[in-house]
């Protein structure tokens, strides 16, 4: 895969939608694409940038699965080239539930995505003209890291441990990428694994203003790329012509292909998709 160098990339006429793009990696990717000329729509709770031409904001509570279903049906995606799902948190020390009865990390980091996809996937990019590649759906998480999870306890009701609960979202999102081509044909589906990056992801577990969170973020900041550096690497990949026809591909923080998790076979993928869809139906009624 050989995406164009950032300095040569002109995204004028392209359209990107970033779900959860109000902070961290999503915000950095949205800003980078916008600076390169793309029309960008950011979806999330709080907009942290100044309004600007070609930079749009749609307020949404991504912890509400009923709201996510509505958003998937109503979000204008017909002219978009790509949708990037970045919304996510880390499971808290003690189990937290949304008002719909779903463990909060699972609701935000995984089920909100699967709630939106049926409504938007078949409409994505249908109004575009003259484009060289199918529309694209990118699922950000940690694919290819060996997490197989436990689809039988997707809502962490049987045995709650924060790391275990979050690992379930990791495995479920990898399954979502691998299932995408058959479940929602038309767009190409890809998984993104940026690796550890200095963001607010861990604040739900460590506490936003705690010494532990500060020290962890400082260490990550010293050892790992910043969100802005990641965005510079990944934005050219999002629009690379080389991705065409490679639905199901996983991509690391340097923009290079990685292998799916060993054991994430068709049977495991189906187990996760069935469990996810059953849990979603339970939540939205």
Look up the pTM and report it.
0.91
Instruction: Specify whether the CB–CB gap between 258 and 144 falls below 8 A.
Output: yes
pLDDT of residue 159: 86
**Domain membership flag for residue 33:** yes
pLDDT of residue 131: 72
Residue ranges of the chain whose pLDDT lies below 50 = none
Produce one character per residue of 229-245: b if its CB has 16 or more CB atoms within 10 Å, e if not. ebbbbbbbbbbbeebee
What CATH number has the domain bearing residue 249? Answer: 3.40.50.720
Produce one character per residue of 194-227: b if its CB has 16 or more CB atoms within 10 Å, e if not. beebbbebbbbbbeeeeeebeebbeebeeebbeb
pLDDT of residue 22: 87
Q: Which domain holds residue 21?
A: 6-284
Domain count, the chain: 1
- Helices (DSSP H) in the chain: which residue ranges? 24-35, 65-74, 104-106, 112-120, 162-183, 203-206, 211-223, 227-238, 266-284
**Domain membership flag for residue 144:** yes
* Per-residue pLDDT tens digits for 141-152: 999 999 999 999
pLDDT of residue 172: 98
- Residue 92 to residue 163: CA distance in whole angstroms: 9
pLDDT of residue 187: 97
**Domain membership flag for residue 254:** yes
pLDDT of residue 155: 98
**Domain membership flag for residue 1:** no
Q: What is the largest CA-CA distance in the chain?
A: 52
12 Cβ partners below 8 Å, 6+ apart?
A: 37, 38
pLDDT of residue 51: 80
**Domain membership flag for residue 70:** yes
């Amino acid at each position: 895969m050989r995406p164009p160098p950032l300095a040569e990339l002109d995204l004028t006429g392209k359209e990107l939608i970033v779900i959860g793009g109000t902070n961290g990696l999503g915000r950095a990717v949205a800003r980078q694409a916008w600076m390169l000329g793309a029309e960008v729509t950011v979806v999330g709770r709080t907009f942290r940038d100044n309004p600007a031409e070609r930079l749009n904001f749609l307020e949404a509570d991504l912890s509400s699965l009923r709201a996510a279903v509505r958003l998937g049906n109503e979000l204008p995606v017909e002219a978009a080239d790509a949708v990037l799902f970045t919304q996510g948190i880390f499971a808290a020390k003690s189990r937290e539930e949304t008002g719909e009865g779903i463990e909060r990390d699972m609701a935000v980091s995984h089920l909100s995505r699967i709630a939106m996809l049926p409504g938007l996937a078949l409409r994505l990019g249908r109004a575009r003209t003259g484009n060289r590649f199918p529309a694209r759906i990118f699922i950000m998480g940690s694919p290819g890291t060996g997490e197989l999870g436990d689809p039988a306890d997707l809502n962490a009701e049987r045995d709650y441990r924060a790391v275990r609960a979050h690992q379930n979202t990791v495995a479920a999102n990898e399954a979502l990428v691998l299932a995408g081509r058959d479940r929602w044909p038309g767009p190409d589906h890809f998984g993104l694994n940026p690796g550890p990056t200095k963001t607010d992801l861990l604040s739900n577990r460590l506490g936003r203003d705690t010494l532990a969170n500060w020290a962890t973020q400082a260490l990550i900041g010293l050892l790992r790329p910043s969100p802005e550096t990641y965005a510079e690497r990944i934005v050219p990949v999002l629009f690379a012509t080389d991705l065409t026809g490679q639905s199901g591909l996983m991509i690391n923080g340097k923009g290079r292909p990685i292998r799916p998790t060993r054991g994430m076979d068709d049977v495991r993928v189906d187990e996760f998709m069935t469990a996810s869809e059953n849990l979603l139906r339970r939540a939205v009624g």
